[in-house]
Chains A and B, each alone.
Chain A
Amino acid sequence: DTGVSQDPRHKITKRGQNVTFRCDPISEHNRLYWYRQTLGQGPEFLTYFQNEAQLEKSRLLSDRFSAERPKGSFSTLEIQRTEQGDSAMYLCASSLQSGYTFGSGTRLTVV
């Protein structure tokens, strides 16, 4: 499979718990992005990695959110002390030049 892979596809968690999502980009893509999409809205930019360096962070990314991309390959997005407002689809995308390829996302439900 040469697409962007995200795991898990769905996650239900209780408020206050920590969750971690994983993204495996297309192998030759050095740029990796995380976006968040709430119901009925377009995706919103969260953060960007070039190789292992996190170069951009949106103000949407509160201090409860942390993202890593060790060794410039897969990436993880962790949300600590989840809140109901964190319920959304978390999308990962990768690119080599200007064109993005999105994964199918991780749908998070905080109850």
Chain B
Amino acid sequence: QQQVKQSPQSLIVQKGGIPIINCAYENTAFDYFPWYQQFPGKGPALLIAIRPDVSEKKEGRFTISFNKSAKQFSLHIMDSQPGDSATYFCAASRTISSGSARQLTFGSGTQLTVLP
């Protein structure tokens, strides 16, 4: 069962454009929502994250918008650059092991291409 749905599967924008990636979740136990960037042959790297008591978070060119009632969140990349070309994963996190750790459930990924 896919607990985090991500769209689109792929996205192509021109340099300077604003790609938007959307995710939706069902499980209300999720309480932390990170976005990861992955380049070929590398592990995912944390970009930005948000907690559900905040509707928007901005770090540099990356912004997360969060709609708790709709159980949806999205990533916007401002002034996109060719170096942003990568696969982006949304994730939802919940505590496990009596709160001693967190388990991530990932979306299926969006392959972003930023054309020069």
Contact = CB atoms under 8 A, between A and B. Distances in A.
A92 to B, nearest CB: 8
Interface stretch (B13-21, B77-85, B103-111): B103-111
B43 A105 contact: yes
Nearest to B39: A104
A100 B41 contact: no
A15 B103 CA distance: 30
Interface residues of A, number: 25
B28 interface: no
A99 interface: yes
Contact of B96 (A42, A48, A102, A105): A48
A98 B101 CA distance: 7
Interface of A: 4, 31, 33, 35, 40-45, 48, 50, 55-56, 91, 93, 95, 98-105
Given A48-B96, A102-B44, A55 B101 contact: yes
B32 interface: yes
B64 to A, nearest CB: 15
Nearest to A107: B41
Interface string B3-41: 010100000000000000000000000001000000001
B101 A42 contact: no
The 10 residue pairs across chains A and B that have the minimum distance between CB atoms: A42-B106, A102-B43, A55-B97, A42-B89, A104-B43, A45-B103, A31-B101, A102-B44, A56-B96, A104-B42
